[in-house]
Structure 1
Amino acid sequence: MTLSAPDLNAHVYSIPLRSQLRDLTAREGVLLEGPAGWGEFCAFVEYDDLECIAWLEAAVEQCTTPWPAPVRDRIPVNCIIPTVGPDEARRIAAETTCRTAKLKVATHPDSLAEDIARVEAVRDGLGPGGAIRIDANCLWDVDTAVRNIKQLDVAAGGLEYVEQPCVTLEKLAAVRRRVDVRIAADESIRRAEDPLKVAVAGAADLAIIKPAPLGGIRRSLEVAEAAKLPCVVTSTIGTSIDVATSVALAAALPELDFACGLDTLSLLTGDVIADTTTFRPVDGFITVPSTKPQPTPELLQEFAPADQARIEWWLSRLHRVTAELNRRHDR
């Protein structure tokens, strides 16, 4: 589909996070209205225009095509434990209805002791039957990953998996050979030209699938099939428009053996749809909706950036990436 940026019905949003996540204090993006509903373009600000093309393709797919037919009507999800102290981590784990908890680790070079304390607290709050998974976001080398995973596995009383402990496939494979914990590939999947390489290299036990950076639901289904690994679907900390797309993908996958990372609205202080419960878990599950969510005009206005320069920055980015996408389609 060829796009003309001036013709897009675009609404820029900025929603503060409840607590800082890496360098983020607010989540920003552009909501696009199309003939089949709404799409969300929310590529992280550090990505260049070429890497943003897939994010825009996903947004275009969202607002121009219907969801694929679901094969399940609800999706198991994990709760998210922010980078908080052990007492708060224990409280969140004890109060959630989810039976799986995910924690970010390696938030700074000397975080291991803090990570161990949080993991121990989450195990205490979640109880012995819950699953704990951690995400290191490529920040360890092989030896550090092996050492830290073994200690965190003990602290957790058994980790379900570790997500992307190192950057390259070779390093992931090396870690996987030296630990007894499952390894999940995230960046190695969504930034790979050939997702099958992850499986062939023996680099991972699971594939993290995110429809926004992969270019949409249909491309994600192709990637999941090519990866030949069990999949965990996650959203990208966007609004309900973004989360709905990931829910639709999880509903369409032929098999879904693990809880998905779809409770990301818990990280935001607000949303653009009026019903704040639609994409929040009940008894550890999100129900697959029959229709796409629609933003509320009042909330679009409430969460429009106060700084006009941010609106102009996002619209300029949208125009540039649209031009790049059109050039690609014209080749």
Structure 2
Amino acid sequence: MEILEKNKALQDIKTFRVDLNQPMKNNFYREGVLINGEYGWAEFAPFPHHSVEHSSRWLQSALEMAWTKLPEPKLTKVKTNAIAVSDDLENVIEAVNKSGCKTLKIKLSGKNIDQEVSNLREISVNIQNIKFRIDFNGELTLDDAVSFSNKSEGLPIEYIEQPCKTLKEIKELKQKIKTPIGIDESFRLVKDILNEDFIHEILESCDYLIVKVIPIGGITRFLKLRDLLVPRFNRIVISGSMDTS
């Protein structure tokens, strides 16, 4: 990407705030900055809890989108999942059916595992051929993660995403359960995601790697990561980051 002076790169910006239809983990809105560049508008909206270091990656991605001619897309259609955060099962089932998606990403807290498993069973009964991607955002203890895996046996779970907070816990968990594991934060929030030793450690610890392109620094950085991953690992899930665009 061309090195730009700040007064040029940020010469045309607008702030925004968009209310969410449903709160997500006490987030009721998304806010950020829109940057207008040579190749169109881009969005800079890091999560509020992110450090300056992590937020700088979001900015790198936004500047790249606004000021860089990126490769042409090779696909006109991509498969996606529905997402649910509500405890209202009727609303969840209705929303998934309207979306036409056959995969549902659902964020759970692990505070009441029996009830959460019961809810998943009800959803699976009401939506034929549904698959679940369960995201705990690191909320579970190791024991709770094992308990969830045992109690949810038989459910159509593609993977549980970031079940525990630390990579050490996830490594141990992988030895204890059959449910596939996806890793997000333990990968995305490290200092250098392109470190080959770290990548090797991550791939030994998970069955799926969830990659959020904007928070890791943009398309160019993702393509470098892809080149390191694909020869040995292809279960990569490209995920959004609550982006408005």
SS of equivalent residue, structure 1 residue 39: strand
Tell me the CA shift for residue 111 of structure 1.
2.9
Partner of 1:162: 160
Match of 1:212 among 194, 211, 214: 214
SS of equivalent residue, structure 2 residue 170: helix
Match of 1:81 among 77, 84, 87: 84
RMSD of Structure 2 on Structure 1 (CA): 1.9
Contact 1:80 1:101 in 2 (8 A): yes
Tell me the CA shift for residue 72 of structure 1.
2.4
Contact 2:130 2:156 in 1 (8 A): no
Tell me the CA shift for residue 5 of structure 1.
5.3
Distance 1:204 1:43, change over 3 A: same
Alignment of 1:1-331 (within 5 A): 1-4=3-6, 7-106=10-109, 110-127=111-128, 129-154=129-154, 157-192=155-190, 193-194=192-193, 196=196, 197-201=198-202, 202-227=204-229, 228-229=232-233, 230-240=235-245
Tell me the CA shift for residue 184 of structure 1.
0.8
Normalising by structure 2, report the TM-score: 0.88
Higher relative contact order (CA 8 A, sep 6+): 1
Q: What's the CA shift string for 1:149-208, capped at 9, x where partnerless?
A: 222344xx2310011111222211111121111111111221232454254351111111
| Count, aligned residues | 235
Rounded to whole Å, the distance in 2 between the matches of 1:52 and 1:199 is: 25
Higher strand share: 2
Percent identity (aligned): 24
Distance 1:13 1:239, change over 3 A: same
Partner of 1:315: none
Normalising by structure 1, report the TM-score: 0.66
Rounded to whole Å, the distance in 2 between the matches of 1:140 and 1:18 is: 27
Amino acid at match of 2:225: V
Contact 2:114 2:151 in 1 (8 A): no
Higher helix share: 1
Distance 1:194 1:14, change over 3 A: closer
Rounded to whole Å, the distance in 1 between the matches of 2:33 and 2:12 is: 10
Distance 1:187 1:3, change over 3 A: farther
Rounded to whole Å, the distance in 1 between the matches of 2:95 and 2:22 is: 14
SS of equivalent residue, structure 1 residue 11: strand
SS of equivalent residue, structure 1 residue 20: strand
Tell me the CA shift for residue 20 of structure 1.
1.1
Contact 2:20 2:30 in 1 (8 A): yes
Unaligned runs of at least 5 residues, structure 2: none
